Structure 1
Amino acid sequence: MSSYDLKDVEEMAGGDQEFMLVVVQTFLEEIPPDVEAMNEAINNGNANLAYSFAHKMKPNLKLFGLQLMPEITVIEQWSKQGKNKEDAPKAARTITAKVTQVCKELKEDFNL
């Protein structure tokens, strides 16, 4: 079973396989560095930067059906409201693990 869902990507692409491939490649190029930067920001206690990266990734994580909105919300609440500070690193680890798995699967499934 796949860790991602391309239903929304397919809908957005209107069945255009080349466009879907571009969207997948863009995800693979942009999301892992953003996850890494978000983790670094959390580890350094830089709430504003962590929020920026978490918020930036949110639409792509949703688009690919990654069920990570609760974890993104934890990071956003810590960043903006000072809540869940102790939970932010755990949420980041969950996001990192899921994104790593999805990237591996996308590369295999799209022969990239």
Structure 2
Amino acid sequence: MPELELSDQYFDLSFLLEIADGSTEFIVESIDMFLVQTPELMWAIYNAIKAGDRTLIAQSAHKLKPNLGFFGMLTAQSMMQEVEALAKGDADFAAIEAKYVSVRSIIAPTLEKLKVIREAKAAEL
């Protein structure tokens, strides 16, 4: 079996592995939560953009930021900070949506990689 890719230019699982302290179950559960919560929050942001709801955009972006940091997704985390700031400011919705689309282009492939990692780790249990 090829070695798992536990980091790339957009994510790094070093922190997760460190706090897991060898617990494969913890890693699998953490990835499971991320794979559920992240798409939910991304959809909430998308729908809030379409509805013109700055408050919900900012709240959802704020909730997502620590999750991204936990998975070493620092570029996405920084971009989500920008989405939150744009929503709290007076930026037009086209600018907010453009930043959202950029961050989504980073998050989507990482979710796919995390699914592969999750399956491989779950097979070790």
Bin the TM-score by the shorter chain.
0.7 to 0.9
Map of 1:21 onto structure 2: 28
How many residues end up aligned between the 2 structures?
112
C-alpha displacement of 1:91: 1.2
Q: Which runs of 5+ in 2 are unaligned?
A: none
SS in structure 2 of the partner of residue 108 of structure 1? helix
Does 1:7 pair with 2:14?
A: yes
Which residue in 2 is equivalent to 1:69? Answer: 77
Give yes or no for contact 1:51–1:79 (8 Å, CA) kept in 2. yes
Q: Let me know the Cα RMSD of the aligned residues.
A: 1.8
Residue 55 of structure 1: aligned partner: 62
Residue 96 (structure 1) aligns with: 104
Larger radius of gyration: 2
Identity of aligned pairs, percent? Answer: 25
Structure 2 partner of 1:33: 40
Runs of at least 4 residues off by over 2 Å: 83-87
Q: Give ranges in structure 1 of 5+ residues lacking alignment.
A: none
Query: In structure 1, the residue corresponding to 2:104 is in which secondary structure?
Result: helix
Q: After alignment, is 101-110 or 82-91 more displaced?
A: 82-91
